[in-house]
Chains A and B, each alone.
Chain A
Amino acid sequence: MNSSHSIGSTNPGAAAKPSVGGELWLFTQDHRRLAWMYAIVIGLSLVVGTVLAVGLGLQPLTGRGTAADAESYRRLYSMHGLVMVFLVALPALPGIVGNWLLPERLGVDEMAWPRMNLLAFQLLLVGCVFFLVAFFATPLDTGWDFALPYALKSNSSVAWGMLGIVFVGASFATSGANIVATVITSRGNGRCWSDLPFFAWAMGAAGLIQAIVTPVLLTALALLFAQREGASDVFASSGADVRFDQWFWFWAHPALASMLLAAIAVIGDVVGEHGDRPRGASRASVLSVMAITVFAFAGWGIHVLGRTDSAACDTAFSALVLASGVPLIILIVDWVTTLERGEARATTALGYAATSVVALTVGGMAGVFLAVPGTGAHLQNTSFSTGVLHFLVVGGVLGALLSGVHQLWPRWLGVAAREGWGKFGCFLFFVGVNLAFVPLCVRGYLGQPRRTLEVVAADERLGWYAVLGAVLIIGALTLAAWNLVATLLDSRATLAKKEAD
């Protein structure tokens, strides 16, 4: 398997390296093979999360009202959130695109710490195992955010879920530190900071955030676990739910920003390749990435808007979160002007990048509604916030992942995926994302609470639009998967024929 003709090592642009861990892919330290391994695990998780999402979307429209329905609904949204956030959205871009592209963009052979790179992947696998236990024992019902005091009373597999997050979180921190180390140490060969490509800046910022904030999540979960076991009473007094949420969102808000920065890294890279700045970075774009990183650490308080005693704090957090939209607009200007100066072709990769940018714009602007104090208070805990999160994660992060994978595919296989089917899939994805998540936002404004089986906001047609949108997204993902796998099989057949000749 160490042959330069094998999938993981095939790279027309760079020499293949031996797998230090021997023949087994499970123990490989080759960053490209690890990218493949991440792709398989994340792809399977995406399938599981999507199946759960289908159940979640259909249940309020088919059966409702009984306690059993409500319970299964709680479990569906909890496991859907757990899988999608921890096994898809957070690791996808650093794990797949980052692993493959970062060393290549930096002109180095390998990540700074190959063993830690392998360790990060193995920790993710262990986390998956615990999530599976949580899934099959008594499915988690607390939501992916372990909301208090629910998480203290729940009889579901809270401990297994938390244990899974401990390992997955350790994976994120390890992977993030490795990305940062790779960016920093790559400057040894006469390269200075200003020579770093945009991809390295943005992916490095995402890694930095993950490395810094993940321990906060693990500490919060450790305290929660101790309280459940009766060994602590830190979350027992009045305001405990807000206290836990402050801990949790001190991780989750920057973690969401790290997802978006990883998406920005991929979009910037794809746009640069299509424009006049392959691998380059403008000063404005780098400063924007830095600003987003700084603001990421200062926005957690917006998630407890109106729940603390301090209107001044609410106002300050609101201002900080709103200000974080400015660098995003500068990045969009940078991308458009980069394309303007080049000879951009309408490729599938650029289509998904554009879809991702539009979703980030819509999601970012929808986030403004939540961040502005007046509208934010009305929209808290409604399906509006669910819609915003999905715009950012599905449209923004998943769109960027599809863009990156379509961009990388020729490098991986030497053969590009079929453009016609790719563009059609991209169109379905664009329509699906908007059709699925705009109704969630509209219903949220009408007063539909999130995470409830009961349809409160009047017009049920909105629910069916969302289901239709979800169907289109699934169709787009299936089409993309089929297109990519078919190309993979074609390339293997061509390779085998060449070897036989």
Chain B
Amino acid sequence: MNFLALIQAAAATAPAAAQAPASQAPIAQGTAAQAAVSQITSADAAEPVVQAAKELLPQASTFAASIDDSFLLILWFAVFLSIVVAGAFAIMVLRPSAGTAGSTSRALYRWSAVGAFALVAVFFVQGARVWADMQVVPRGAVPVRVALEEKGWSFTYPNGYVTNELHLPIDRAVKFMFQGASEPYTFAVPAFRLQVAVPVGTRRDAWVEPTLAGEWEVRSTVPSLRKAEELVALATVHAEGGYEKWYQDISGPPLDLPPVELGQRSYQMRGCTQCHTVDGAKLVGPTFKGFLAREHRMKDGSVVDPSDDYIKESILDPQAKVVEGFEPVMPSFKGRLHELEVAGLAAYIKSLQ
């Protein structure tokens, strides 16, 4: 049993540990702590505390358990030292008779110094080990570019897809490449125990290996004049195979297909079907049926030609021209579609009779 496990086991065997108040719950969630708790008879009593802690701040990455171990090691010693110091002062004033006059033994100072150095060294080595792991990005990590832009977070995937939501695979390393903005920000995901500071105009790299599927909050913790919601994003860790499916969806169809077929696949995969039909039915947006044959009258009364340029503009900048009888609710697909896909969609829409 290593030193850390020894301390955790000692702490867990203390009767008070089983009845720790809720405020102490978040710090008792390391996997090693759970192991120590499970070894002893008070495990059943401690279980709700561990569960509550896991609910408050789950360990959702490989770093989380290591950092929690490091935290617990220091915490138990801090509690122990504080009780010893307070107790020593109390005993000195409450004891019945005075001690013997003289001077403190040099050996006491010497051993206090040696003990303090040893403890500090243990704390340092424990923390530095995790820190060193965090500095070396594993080979084959999934690269994601991260930036905090004017409208909020932006995450760019290897296929060029840009989104304001972070999607991550489970049990696979992800490399974040941060681009500094005009103000400093941090990329903090408490569930991963990961916080990366990105100073003004600099670049930073970091990595993480998510281990728990779910949705975790991403936040910049640097005080800012921005609206609070602009500093927050959602990180979705997909269950086994979920990320690959999501990535395939955002990657769209193979770009070497003939234009009309490519457009048809894009229409099906990119969510166009939610608002536009190809059978003449009216949804949120106009149908694509008979696109070339009908007149395209806009809200401002103008009439436009059903050209490729008009279709491309409607996809990339949908608010530029809004069709009469419809609301300007379509989101822009700028940066989300390959230019061949846009051309394919134009060809597909024009092909519909």
**Interface, chain A (partner B; CB < 8 A):** 67, 70, 74, 143, 147-150, 153, 237-242, 274, 276, 282, 284, 306-307, 311, 314-315, 318-319, 322-323, 325-326, 329-330, 332-334, 336-346, 350, 354, 357-358, 361-362, 365-366, 368-369, 372-382, 438-439, 442, 445-447, 449-454, 456-459, 461-462, 465
- Inside 8 A of A342's CB, which chain B residues have their CB? 98-99, 101
- Find out whether the CB atom of A341 lies under 8 angstroms from the CB atom of B24: no
Q: With an 8 A cutoff between CB atoms, is B258 at the interface?
A: no
Is A372 a contact of B199 with CB atoms below 8 Å?
A: no
Partner of A459, one of B56, B109, B112: B56
Smallest CB-CB A-B distances: 6 pairs: A238-B201, A447-B190, A372-B127, A374-B130, A373-B131, A365-B78
List 18 A-B pairs, Cβ < 8 Å. A149-B182, A276-B101, A306-B195, A311-B132, A318-B127, A322-B124, A326-B120, A334-B104, A354-B89, A366-B78, A368-B120, A369-B71, A377-B196, A378-B190, A442-B24, A445-B26, A446-B57, A450-B221
A378-B195 contact, Cβ under 8 Å, with A318-B124, A326-B116, A330-B113: yes
Contact indicator per residue, chain B 207-228, by CB within 8 Å of chain A (1) or not (0):
0000000000101011111011
Instruction: Tell me the bound Cα distance from A307 to B161 in angstroms.
Output: 28
A354 to B84, CA, bound (A): 12
Q: Which B residues contact A (CB, under 8 angstroms)?
A: 22-24, 26-27, 56-57, 63, 66-67, 70-71, 74, 77-78, 81-82, 85-86, 88-90, 92-94, 98-104, 106, 108-109, 112-113, 115-117, 120, 123-124, 126-132, 134-135, 180, 182-184, 186, 188, 190-191, 193-197, 199-202, 217, 219, 221-225, 227-228
Q: Contact at B101–A241, with CB atoms within 8 Å?
A: no
* Inter-subunit contact A378/B123 (CB<8 Å): no
Q: Taking A325-B116, A378-B190 as contacts, is the C-beta distance between A368 and B123 under 8 angstroms?
A: yes
**Chain A interface main SS type:** helix
Q: Say yes or no: A238 contacts B195, CB within 8 Å.
A: no
Q: Could you say which of A337, A366, A457 has the most chain B C-beta atoms within 10 Å of its C-beta?
A: A337
Asked if B89 and A374 sit within 8 Å, CB to CB, the answer is: no
- In the assembled complex, the Cα of A450 lies from the Cα of B98 at a distance in Å of 47
- A322-B120, A341-B102 as given contacts; A459 in contact with B22, CB under 8 Å: yes
Whether A372 contacts B223 in the complex (CB less than 8 A), given A340-B99, A381-B195, A445-B57, comes out as no
Contact partner, A372, options B106, B126, B182, B194, Cβ 8 Å: B126
Question: Roughly how many angstroms separate A377 CA and B93 CA in the complex, as a whole number?
Answer: 41
Determine if B94 and A346 form an interchain contact, defined as CB atoms under 8 angstroms apart: yes
**Given the known A-B contacts A284-B104, A339-B89, are A326 and B23 also in contact in the complex, defined by CB atoms under 8 Å?**
no
For B191, the chain A residues whose CB sits under 8 A away are: 447
Beyond A372-B123, A378-B67, whether A239 also contacts B74 by CB under 8 A is no
Chain A's nearest CB lies how many Å from the CB of B75?
8
Q: Which residues of B contact A439 (CB under 8 A)?
A: 23
- Known A241-B199, A372-B124, A462-B23; contact A365-B117, beta-carbon cutoff 8 A: no
